Amino acid sequence: MRKKENGLFGFSVGCLPKKRWDEVNHFLNKTGVKFTFGLNALVGKKNSKEDQLNWKGDWNPNNAISLMKYTVSKGYNIDSYELGNELCSEGVSARIDSVQYAKDITKLRHIINSLYPNATTRPKVMGPAGFYGKEWFDSFLQHVGPGVIDGVTHHIYNLGAGVDRDLISKVQDPYFLSKIAQTFKDVSTAVKEFTPWAGAWVGESGGAYNSGGKDVSHTFVNGFWYLDQLGMTSTFNHKVYCRQALIGGNYALLNTTSFIPNPDYYGALLWHRLMGTNVLSISHDSSPYLRTYAHCSKQGSGITLLLINMENSTSFDVSLVNDMNLYPEELASEGINTVNLMDSLKREEYHLTPKDGNIQSDVVLLNGTPLELTKSKEIPELKPKIVDASSSSPIKVAPHSIVFVQINNFNAPACAPPTK
């Protein structure tokens, strides 16, 4: 691939050699990650004479079939295939009609079913991998048949351009951050109505497009946007959130030269370890600059809270009330036990703050200690602060901080272990 002025996105047609494909899969096999691969959806299509951005005609899958046959012969594990990238709605440099895309992705499903007869090892089919537009998405989801897609992927870059001078203000503005909630709600509603067997995914999001913001996207302050996104999408029944990117650009989770984790890496790691898949309703009557999310804990039968304080000078003392306790007699008659939160003797707190109080620092502190790789380049142990909750002590959320709190004894029926 080389730069080409009249090429799509300014590049010529590229080639993925077998040797490189082998190297990619060997690397992924060592890491144990789940691998989604995007296929070229424009092969076989031609530009419309009336509209150069509009690509017409049927997808030619021959090249994709060759790749998949080779992949099967080598025993490589592909979690899912996506068809195209940002071709839906208005598109980005190219677009495909929604009905045609439904036809193309149905063809991909038939090919995958044929090449992978064992349903337990069969890759998922994902799409449309672009920005949400109601008319296009609704049309696509209505025309795609049952069981064709396993996940409805859409992209989010709600912070705008990475060069925006107001970027650092946007990631600290709860009113701005909440604007994207309608998109998450609309996607979730469309999936539930038209393809209820498929989950909603954020298939790509780096916050700010064009590689993110130079002094923002790889620093502590970006966690206000990122972890808020994880909480918000979970609230609107999204199953997966794919972050752009692990390595590359200003929004990388790892430093692009040293591979040392940036602050968002540790935020994502704590989310992964602590937050379960069941989302709980939580609310507060304080400042909108305090964001609150609650899930069943990933381990055990308690709950885990995510508290994000975007205020630069105001701290919050957070006390929890289980609203089940407001109606104990009614609940008891239904066979549900209630519990006072403070009967929990201990809770585990993970307080994330920036080094030297600088929200544009690349170094994050956990309970006051810098998170740094060990001498053997391993991820450090993420130790919680154990707090005695029996004295009704509130959770103290410092200015410009992010706090995870795990409460093992909290009585939430949705989090109770299944009865045998």
Give me Rg for the CA atoms of the chain: 23
SS3 string, the chain, reads CCECCCCHHHECCCCCCHHHHHHHHHHHHHHCCCCEEEECCCCCCEECCCCCCEEECCCCCHHHHHHHHHHHHHCCCCCEEEECCCCCCCCCCCECCHHHHHHHHHHHHHHHHHHCCCCCCCCEEEEEEECCCHHHHHHHHHHCCCCCCCEEEEEECCCEECCCCCHHHHCCCHHHHHCCHHHHHHHHHHHHHHCCCCEEEEEEECCEECCCCCCCCCCCCHHHHHHHHHHHHHHCCEEEEEECCCCCCCCCCECCCCCCECHHHHHHHHHHHHEEEEEECCCCCCCCCEEEEEEEECCCCCEEEEEEECCCCCCEEECCCCHHHHCHHHHHHCCCCCCCHHHCCEEEEEEEEEHHHCCCCCCEEECCEECCCCCCCCCCCCCCEEEECCCCCCEEECCCEEEEEEECCCCCHHHCCCCC
List 82, 204, 311, 349, catalytic entry: 204
Q: 86 catalytic, yes or no?
A: yes
Sign of CA dihedral 104, 108, 109, 110: positive
Q: 330 catalytic, yes or no?
A: no
List 5, 50, 86, 378, catalytic entry: 86
Which tokens belong to 228? 């808020």
- Among 276, 200, 289, 187, smallest CA distance to 240 is for 200
Q: What's the rounded Cα separation, in Å, for the pair 63 and 55?
A: 18
**Catalytic center residues:** 86, 204
